């Protein structure tokens, strides 16, 4: 296959940046999207150009590192898929593909397609945990958890923190990410003692980091590679309302 690419190039955070065109020939349909970028980067190195910077690590759809905005969609055209799990067979020979970084003021561009997502870590540091020191735990089976609740908590916990929800949202809201953690811990008895402070602190950190507010467009759920449901945002809102009553 032959693929035409338009890729965002930006030297560093202070550079203005812009789109550049590239052609990759001999693309094998069984290549992953990132492997196609590997091939392009090898070509660029041979030409003496600087390769395109992009984040990636596990290439198995679980670490949440990869983050490309492909043809106007976070992680590209396929539903429930990260960029690293997207294969070239889903594109047409001769197609032009536009690739940009996540765009959000809370995620400044570091270089080319690489953005800074440490704002997510700050939200977790504010309250996305259970305060239990090593060695303080009781026997695991002393806490029984209803299976359905445990399953729902796991659905929420499956979030990989990639930031596609933010990139997909017109308000650049980080609410799906935040709610996934709030919801997981609210569903489990272990998370119960800190339920109220947790949601308040995490939302405060979310707003401070510069994420926009949620207007329920549902774009985040549609683009989430792990198909995290916006019902968690509804739970977060209930948790927030309850906590604010006190």
- Measuring CA to CA, which residue among 210, 202, 118 is closest to residue 171? 210
CA distance 164 to 228: 11
Q: From residue 163, give the alpha-carbon distance in Å to each of 61, 132, 182, 196, 220.
A: 13, 28, 16, 25, 9
Residue 243 contact partner, candidates other proteins, ligand FES, none, CB within 5 to 8 A by sort of partner: none
Stretch that binds ligand FES, among 24-32, 51-59, 134-142, 235-243 (CB under 6 A): 51-59
By CB under 6 A, name the one of 56, 111, 206, 232 that touches ligand FES: 56
Stretch that binds other proteins, among 62-70, 206-214, 217-225, 227-235 (CB under 8 A): 62-70
Query: Cβ closer to other proteins: 81 or 231?
Result: 81
Count Cβ atoms below 10 Å from residue 30 Cβ, excluding itself: 9
161 binds ligand FES (CB under 6 A): no
CA distance 129 to 112: 33
- Burial annotation 132-160 (CB, 10 A radius, 16+ → b, else e): eeeeeeeeeeeeeeeeeeeebbebbbebb
62 binds ligand FES (CB under 6 A): yes
Sites for other proteins among residues 166-205 (CB under 8 A): 184-185, 188, 190-191
Q: CB of 188 within 8 A of CB of 208? A: no
Query: Cβ closer to ligand FES: 116 or 208?
Result: 116
By CB under 8 A, name the one of 95, 116, 204, 227 that touches other proteins: 116
95 binds other proteins (CB under 8 A): no
224 binds ligand FES (CB under 6 A): no
For the CB of residue 62, give the shortest distance to ligand FES in the complex, in Å: 6
3-state helix, strand, coil in the chain (%, to 5): 40, 15, 45
58 binds ligand FES (CB under 6 A): yes
Sites for other proteins among residues 23-52 (CB under 8 A): 28, 30-32, 34-35, 38-39, 42, 44-46, 48-51
66 binds ligand FES (CB under 6 A): yes
């Amino acid at each position: 296959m032959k693929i035409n690419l338009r890729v965002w190039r930006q030297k560093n955070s202070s550079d203005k940046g812009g789109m550049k065109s590239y052609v990759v020939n001999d693309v094998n349909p069984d290549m992953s999207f990132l492997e196609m970028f590997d091939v392009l980067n090898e070509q660029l190195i041979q030409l003496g150009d600087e390769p395109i910077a992009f984040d990636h690590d596990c290439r198995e759809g679980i670490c949440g590192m990869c983050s490309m905005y492909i043809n106007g969609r976070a992680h590209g055209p396929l539903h429930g898929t990260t960029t690293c799990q997207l294969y070239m067979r889903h594109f047409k020979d001769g197609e032009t593909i536009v690739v940009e970084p996540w765009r959000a003021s809370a995620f400044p561009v570091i270089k080319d397609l690489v953005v800074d997502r440490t704002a997510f870590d700050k939200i977790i540091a504010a309250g996305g945990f259970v305060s239990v020191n090593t060695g303080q735990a009781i026997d695991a089976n002393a806490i029984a958890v209803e299976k359905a609740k445990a399953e729902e908590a796991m659905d929420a916990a499956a979030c990989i923190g990639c930031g596609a929800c933010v990139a997909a949202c017109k308000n650049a809201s980080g609410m799906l990410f935040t709610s996934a953690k709030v919801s997981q811990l609210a569903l489990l008895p272990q998370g119960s003692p800190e339920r109220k402070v947790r949601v308040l602190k995490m939302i405060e950190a979310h707003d401070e980091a510069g994420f926009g507010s949620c207007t329920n467009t549902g774009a985040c759920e549609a683009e989430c590679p792990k198909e995290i449901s916006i019902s968690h945002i509804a739970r977060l809102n209930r948790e927030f309302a309850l906590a604010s009553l006190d």
